[in-house]
Amino acid sequence: MKKILIIEDEKILVEMYKNKLERNNFQVISAFSSEEGIEILKREKPDLVILDILLPRENGISFLEKIKKIRAISKIPVIVFSNYDDPVTRKEAMNLGVEDYLIKTQFTPL
């Protein structure tokens, strides 16, 4: 079973996407801040990270910069999933190696 880490500060969104992913046979773990996300990433080594850009204390771009410096987790694929649709931030995230940059409002879990 593939393991996905969702890093998102809005708990209702985490639960909504977690339920959808679990119904599709993924194991889902969650973090509500980038700091917690890095700790879980080091410990759990998921197959994929779904990352929000707007997080408390430290944004998703800072998170991406940090994980790229940690060899053991630097190759884990990341998809940005955010409502922050800024072209500069999108480019920055893509330059940091994210697989994709998706806008939440364009996707609805069923």
**Distance between CA 78 and CA 87 in Å, rounded?**
18
Is pLDDT of 108 > 90?
A: no
Whole-model pTM: value is: 0.94
Amino acid at 43: R
Backbone angles phi, psi at 67, to 5 degrees: -70, -25
Residue-level pLDDT at 110: 63
Is pLDDT of 107 > 90?
A: no
Q: On the CB side of 20, how many CA atoms lie within 13 Å of its CA? A: 11
Q: What is the DSSP secondary structure assignment for residue 97, as one 8-state letter?
A: T
What the chain holds in terms of domains, given with CATH numbers, is 3-106 (3.40.50.2300)
